[in-house]
Amino acid sequence: MRHVDIPGKRLRLREVTVDDVDALHAVYGDPTATEHLPFDPRTREEVEEIVAEAMRAAETEPRRLYVLAVTDVAEGGTIGVARLHIEHDHPHSAEIGLGLRPDQWGRGIGTDLVRLLLVFGFRHLGLHRIWGARSPANTAAQLTMLVAGMVEEGRIRHHVRARGAWRDSVVHSAIEDEWEGYREA
């Protein structure tokens, strides 16, 4: 098993543990934090299963799923979650996703987190393409991905069903040889 621990200036990515369930529930269970995500707020039991799945995925070979705790370097607490899923049919490519507690919003933490995920994917995993999808209404995520060095590719119509209705997604990506590696997290 490859243990993930990626330090940045303000954030650190590390493997999730059972000790993170309450902190992750503060993200996954919060209606504000999940407003633009493709699922309704999760129960604590559902978050326990997400953590258990992440821990099982960490034991698989080849590893395709990374669910990582996002911690604040200065304070040490878990403030969010980051996900990187390597595509089975295209192992050079991975989808990223993230969630942060709403009290962390507006400080550039999301941009730092996307940068750390790009560092992890390109430098540690040797990926060629990293992409993420966002709700068209989530302009904060749009700005986060653009500032972190990702390019807006386009819209996938009726991509996900969320809150009882079909929703489009806007895709952003970064390509290894185009990526602005000097933008360190």
Residues 6+ apart with CB under 8 A from 174: 118, 122, 129, 130, 131, 148, 149, 150, 151
Q: What is the pLDDT of residue 181?
A: 53
Q: What is the pLDDT of residue 180?
A: 61
H/E run at residue 7: strand 5-7
ω into 62 cis (within 30 of 0): yes
- Averages of pLDDT over runs of 10 residues in the chain (185 residues) are 84 96 95 89 96 95 96 93 96 96 92 96 96 95 95 96 91 90 47
Helices (H), ranges, the chain: 21-28, 44-57, 109-119, 139-147
Amino acid at 64: R
57, 2, 54, 65: which is closest to 28 by C-alpha?
54
Q: What is the pLDDT of residue 37?
A: 87
Q: What is the pLDDT of residue 2?
A: 66
Ordered by where they begin, the domains of the chain are 5-182 (3.40.630.30)
pTM: 0.92
